[in-house]
Structure 1
Amino acid sequence: MVDVGEVASAVLPYLSGVAGAYGSAVVQRVSNGAADATADATLGAGRQFPRRLFGSSRASQVQSAVVDLAGQPDDEGLADVLRAQVRAALAADASLLADVVPLLGAVGGNFTVTVSGSQGVQVGDGNTQTNTFNAPPR
């Protein structure tokens, strides 16, 4: 039996990444399929989660929580609200849960994705990424 809470927690980093990449226009960009090359490269297959969730019976609640998180990406309380909305959507719709679980495996469910300050996300085997932001002058 699949634990809905665990699935919601596993999906959250992807939703956070989408919110960080697209900002407050996240719902329109995901729903309309609009994208840009940078966001596509950053998010890759993870964009499938919001597309599927935004088509669920609880789409408005999930969308609202994603937009709120996009406005304040480091707010843990808003991340918890989004996790709760995703959990509720998955619990209310068995077909949604059945669709989302295989997506986790397809995007590499064995990876941990952490988004902090909307600086970017990289997921995959053997990848190395070094970002320096606001580095002091030498």
Structure 2
Amino acid sequence: MIVKLNHQDKQIAKEIQQIQQAAYRVEAQLMGFDGIPQLYEKVSEIQKSTETFAGYSEEQLQGVISFQIDEGILAIHRLVVSPTYFRKGIGKRLVEYLLEHYKGYEFVVSTGTANKPAIALYTAYGFQEQRLIEVAPGIHCTQYSLSN
């Protein structure tokens, strides 16, 4: 089940942090880059975030998506699934949740260019590559967008 999360609650913020650190460690390995900011984000920083958070859980939190809306653009800031639950369709469900509940927005998201599973997920929903961003020497992210 997907529900909005109160990330200002310390326990929920801690659960978000644990999932995102585990998920971003996997992405860091794929990219060969450990400078992903969310790897080092503190619970207090998550609590102060202005993003909207939604989570997928069955008895425990298994995946999280966060986003911000500004002038008709919905920017996905993080989509993380606990590695224990990789390949179970949780990322798909979280993307579908946004697409169903926020019709009429343009969606944008960036992911590591080496993160083939994330790219496959976004392109399966029709996201189109927009531009390549060099985040560190030799390390790239790709930005995607979708008009919904």
TM-score of the pair, normalised by structure 2:
0.30
Structure with the bigger percentage of helix: 1
Structure with the bigger percentage of strand: 2
TM-score of the pair, normalised by structure 1:
0.32
Q: Which has the higher contact order (CA 8 A, sep 6+)?
A: 1
